[in-house]
Structure 1
Amino acid sequence: MKLIENWQQAWKLKSVQVGAISAFFYALILLSEQFLSVWNIIPQDLKNKIPENIAEWVGMLVGVAMVLARLKKQPELHTEIQPFVTITAGHSNTDPGAVNGKYKEAELVRQFRNAVAHYLSVAGLTIKTDGAGTINLPLNNAIALAKGASIAVEFHMNASTSKQANGIETIALPKDKLLAQKLSKAVADVFGSRLRGDGGWIDQSQSARGKLGFINAGGLIVELGFISNETELATFYSKYWSAAKAVANILIEHEKGV
């Protein structure tokens, strides 16, 4: 095979640049699901070591891969309606939620969402999330994903002016009381925390937050402790992977009717 003259400078040609970009996105479309699976199993500690300037590009790439994975036609999924579990993180990339020093609620619950999603994927469940990696989409996306899900769970952290306020709770409608209590207990057992409300369940009608869109769409909101409590914050950061696994096991058992 004979190459063109000055082939070393071929990258400057528009046709080559366009071709390379097209090839990149074609490969991303083909491998988007595999890329997301690999990304989800990478420990968060390693992800945290990625330089901030590179992490931004990786986050964008994960976001694009997530969109492409959802757009890619999968005939086997269209033969019948498939049940799915929705797992979302409270607040968003533009809304940090409660803050304690360098710790932001939206970032902590995003990490928890990723960990739960990983364990559910390994178990073979079909899941939908409001982002992957560093992506945390706004509430309206979470509400849309909750509709039609067999289970929809969103994660938050409480905050209080009292540094001693503590405990785990799950806000839900009465029909989901038992599941709410199981989810709260799973987290509390790992964190060594107490259960708030009725065995870990808070009836939305009894919540000071009023009617919540995610719950009205059929979801449950798990409050993973108080970010304002230094002890609970430290416990969360050191044990959230174990708590996420415990939560995932409850969801897997519920989904499979165990």
Structure 2
Amino acid sequence: MIFISAGHHNTDPGAVSNGYIERDLTKDARNVIIQSLDLKNVIQDKDFETNLQYQRRIKPGNGSVVFDIHFNSGPPTAGGTECYVNQNDFADKNSLSYKMADEICRTTSRILGIRNRGVKSENHSQHPRIGILNLGSGVSVLWEICFISSVINMQNYLQKKNDLLKEVAAVLKKYEIN
């Protein structure tokens, strides 16, 4: 089972920069990825749900993939892609979460032509612990596609979005174990 979420919901816009709203971009990315997946094996967040409501509703188990989509924000000169995993998966570079996060980063960097900022532990984010990455068993990754605050990152993303999201869907399928 693949659990995919847009990271932000109707009442939480996320980052806003350069005329873009993170919530709208992540919903679109989620929907494009879902179109590339077998819908029988996908559970998605609902746009009206808070992150906590979504996390309480889903029950990921062994072989499942939890994938949370975001855009980063920072100074206009900041750029690149990165993924977060929980502290245990970060400590174990052979964990499936770490391996999938690394593959997502490499794929994004290659297709968009942006910096690969790498896989990071959740405690290196703005939060000491990220709930979506700690729901139990299975693979869990939070993806920061690129910087919404970077004009160049966003131009590259919008030009190559469909190719990128199709390849990311293939990566998710690869790590889902039925």
TM bucket normalised to smaller: 0.7 to 0.9
Go from structure 1 to structure 2 and tell me whether the alpha carbon gap of 1:115 and 1:145 turns closer, same or farther (over 3 Å shift).
Answer: farther
Q: Return the TM-score normalized by structure 1.
A: 0.60
SS of the residue 1:120 aligns to: coil
Deviations 1:199-247 (A, max 9, x none): x211113334210111122531100010000111122222221111111
Q: Is 1:231 aligned with 2:152?
A: yes
SS of the residue 1:113 aligns to: helix
CA distance in 2, matches of 1:182, 1:129: 22
CA distance in 2, matches of 1:144, 1:151: 16
Maintained 8 Å contact 2:4/2:66: yes
Maintained 8 Å contact 1:105/1:156: yes
Query: Of the candidates 29, 32, 38, which is equivalent to residue 112 of structure 1?
Result: 29
Query: Of the candidates 137, 141, 151, which is equivalent to residue 220 of structure 1?
Result: 141
CA distance in 1, matches of 2:14, 2:22: 5
Go from structure 1 to structure 2 and tell me whether the alpha carbon gap of 1:145 and 1:225 turns closer, same or farther (over 3 Å shift).
Answer: farther
CA distance in 1, matches of 2:22, 2:135: 22
Residue of structure 2 in register with 1:159 after alignment = 73
Residue of structure 1 in register with 2:92 after alignment = none
SS of the residue 2:69 aligns to: strand
Return the letter of the residue paired with 1:94. Answer: T
Unaligned ranges ≥5, structure 1? 1-83
Deviations 1:76-134 (A, max 9, x none): xxxxxxxx11011011111111011431001001100001111112xx65100013xxx
Q: Is 1:92 aligned with 2:9?
A: yes
TM-fit CA distance, 1:144: 2.9
Larger Rg: 1
CA-based RMSD: 1.9
Go from structure 1 to structure 2 and tell me whether the alpha carbon gap of 1:252 and 1:145 turns closer, same or farther (over 3 Å shift).
Answer: farther
Return the letter of the residue paired with 1:112. Answer: A
SS of the residue 2:176 aligns to: helix
CA distance in 1, matches of 2:156, 2:68: 20
CA distance in 1, matches of 2:166, 2:22: 20
CA distance in 2, matches of 1:125, 1:246: 19
Count, aligned residues:
165
Deviations 1:7-27 (A, max 9, x none): xxxxxxxxxxxxxxxxxxxxx
TM-fit CA distance, 1:179: 1.2
Q: Return the TM-score normalized by structure 2.
A: 0.84
Percent sequence identity over matched residues?
Answer: 27
Go from structure 1 to structure 2 and tell me whether the alpha carbon gap of 1:217 and 1:244 turns closer, same or farther (over 3 Å shift).
Answer: same
